[in-house]
């Protein structure tokens, strides 16, 4: 195996570590330390010891969920882990993409690495193999209520270990059995408790939460650069970003947003500015600042979840006790993702209002109606960014509609055993969808604002030499693939290219 960049040994990891494996495809491995190996091995041995001594263990010597009162005979015990995987094979909806599936695997591996689950290192190494060979289970998005963990989606991870269902390989979904055959890899057999260990916990919602955090953090910075460009194109009042204002109300995120906007403003003072701009410009630091501040505690809560043992039951290796509880409950991730999507939806609303100002010739300080770049003789037949503004409003509205918290929609399931569930995975998926929509609003706004900047340069109101370096970098990255709109043309391809670059985080931000 090639050199490992991330080594799991039961110690704390961070969202950036998950992202480095999920997106940047860094290698991952389990620690070779004797202490780590012993902890994992002792957990597996403890399960076997309890079985030998005929002690009761949920999901091993008993049925599952509300069926826990039903004993499972020794004869059936080896079949139970397979049945658990198979009857949970009812996931529907779109598949999580390749990168998100990788984040899910990292989250589950790190939870298992805490040594509370009684799973063999051999099984954990198979998850490592998936990641390092860039072959990951294909996981449907729908079917989890977020307690007892992400059972249905994680059954697709356990199934892949067994050689069943499908995996992502080279950008395609293929049979894992065929993949194993081509790679000369044998499916693993799962011992009692091991399928439960693979399927229990909050790894799906947590992996998705890591991806959401990563995207939202970039979006917050991009929103600052975009707001600065909007201020300049609308000849706004720079005094709204005076640091003294934010000393008087020092929410850290608001201070950060104001500083980033201020650093992106141009090198000349706008003339004939209004004493007070509309809220979409003046209050941008306050609005974006909420997202920055939310990201701080979202990161903290998500990293606590990443570094937790979320299985049930848990093993206390020191005492030999089997601890039955509810660490699979995803309430913290649910609340974090519900909150994050609300902060992100407010960014969609902010940017949509900025675009509306930019296109309205009654509010945009003498820019052409709809930012049309057409010459006077063809101007009546050209409508510039009119449709982009309508689309931005549609995307913003859907983003706002999506802000209803998922965590309050708990359902009683499974014979009223799972009678209060977290809905954490739905909240995390909602957060991703809200981000997608808000990124679309931002993409429309970036194309519109670079058009406005070209129009200001053409009219002589703004000199290219005075544009700040951060905004110039952003502008040039856009103009590399999307020229100024003179005569009306479809902008779908420009928007799609911009979204790809935004999601790779290659559009420059401070």
**Cα–Cα distance between 344 and 143 in angstroms, integer?**
25
Q: Scanning the structure block, which residue is given the tokens 């982009």?
A: 388
Give the span between the Cα atoms of 154 and 198, in whole angstroms.
7
Cα torsion through 342, 347, 350, 356, rounded to 10 = -120
Radius of gyration (C-alpha) of the chain in whole angstroms: 26
Give the C-alpha separation, 13 to 127, whole Å. 17
User: 70-79 contacts: CB < 8 A, separation 24 or more?
Assistant: 77/51, 77/192, 78/191, 78/192
By CB neighbour count within 10 A (0-12 exposed, 13-18 middle, 19+ buried), where does 425 fall?
Answer: buried
- Which run of H or E residues covers position 503? helix 492-503
Element (H, E) at 149: none
- Report the alpha-carbon distance of residue 130 to residue 126 in Å, rounded: 6
Q: Are 396 and 280 in contact (CB under 8 A)?
A: no
Catalytic position from the list 49, 58, 82, 116: 58
Task: Specify whether 475 is catalytic.
Answer: no
From its phi and psi, is residue 36 left (phi > 0), alpha (psi between -120 and 50) or beta?
Answer: alpha
- 481: CB partners within 8 A, 6+ apart: 494, 497, 498
Residue 254 CA to residue 246 CA, distance in Å, equals 7
The dihedrals phi and psi of 13, each to the nearest 5 degrees, come to -120, 175
Residues facing 322 on adjacent strands? 315
Look-up: residue for tokens 């937790």?
308
Q: Is the peptide bond before 148 cis (omega within 30 degrees of 0)?
A: yes
Question: What is the β-pairing status of strands 28-30 and 6-8?
Answer: parallel
Q: Is the dihedral of CA 176, 187, 136, 399 positive or negative?
A: positive
- Which residues are designated catalytic? 58
């Amino acid at each position: 195996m090639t050199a490992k960049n991330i080594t799991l040994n039961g110690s704390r990891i961070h969202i950036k570590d998950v992202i480095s494996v999920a997106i940047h495809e860094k290698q991952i491995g389990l620690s070779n330390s004797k202490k780590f190996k012993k902890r994992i091995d002792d957990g597996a041995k403890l399960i076997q010891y309890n079985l030998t001594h005929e002690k009761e263990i949920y999901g091993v010597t008993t049925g599952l969920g509300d069926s826990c009162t039903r004993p499972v005979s020794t004869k059936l015990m080896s079949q139970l882990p397979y049945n658990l995987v198979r009857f949970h094979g009812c996931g529907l909806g779109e598949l999580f993409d390749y990168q998100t599936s990788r984040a899910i695997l990292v989250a589950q591996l790190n939870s298992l690495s805490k040594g509370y689950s009684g799973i063999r290192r051999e099984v954990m190494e198979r998850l490592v193999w998936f990641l390092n060979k860039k072959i990951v289970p294909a996981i449907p998005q729908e079917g989890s209520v977020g307690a007892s963990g992400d059972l249905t989606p994680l059954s697709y991870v356990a199934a892949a270990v067994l050689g069943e269902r499908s995996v992502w390989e080279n950008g395609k979904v293929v049979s894992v059995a065929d993949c194993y055959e081509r790679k000369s890899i044998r499916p693993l057999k799962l011992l009692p408790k091991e399928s439960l260990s693979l399927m229990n916990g909050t790894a799906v919602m947590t992996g998705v939460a890591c991806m959401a955090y990563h995207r939202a953090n970039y979006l917050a910075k991009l929103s600052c650069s975009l707001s600065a460009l909007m201020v300049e194109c609308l000849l706004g009042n720079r005094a709204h970003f005076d640091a003294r204002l934010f000393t008087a109300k020092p929410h850290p995120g608001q201070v950060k947003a104001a500083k980033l906007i201020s650093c992106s403003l141009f090198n000349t003072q706008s003339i004939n500015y209004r004493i007070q701009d509309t809220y979409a410009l003046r209050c941008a630091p306050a609005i974006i600042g909420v997202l920055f501040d939310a990201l701080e505690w979202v990161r903290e809560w998500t990293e606590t979840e990443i570094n937790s043992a979320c299985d049930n039951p848990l093993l206390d290796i020191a005492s030999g006790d089997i601890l039955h509880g509810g660490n699979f409950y995803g309430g913290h991730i649910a609340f974090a993702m519900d909150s994050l999507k609300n902060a992100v939806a407010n960014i969609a609303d902010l940017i949509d209002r900025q675009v509306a100002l930019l296109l309205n010739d009654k509010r945009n300080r003498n820019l052409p109606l709809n930012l049309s770049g057409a010459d006077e003789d063809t101007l009546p037949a050209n409508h510039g960014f009119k449709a982009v503004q309508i689309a931005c409003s549609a995307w913003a509205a859907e983003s706002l509609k999506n802000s209803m918290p998922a965590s309050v929609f708990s359902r009683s399931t499974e014979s009223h055993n799972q009678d209060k569930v977290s809905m954490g995975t739905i909240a995390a998926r909602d957060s991703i969808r809200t981000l997608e929509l808000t990124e679309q609003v931002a993409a429309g706004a970036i194309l519109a604002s670079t058009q406005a900047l070209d129009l200001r340069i053409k009219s002589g109101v703004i000199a290219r030499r005075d544009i700040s370096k951060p905004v110039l970098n952003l502008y040039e990255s856009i103009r590399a693939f999307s020229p100024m709109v003179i005569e009306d043309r479809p902008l779908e391809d420009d928007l799609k290219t911009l979204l790809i670059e935004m999601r790779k985080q290659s559009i420059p931000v401070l």
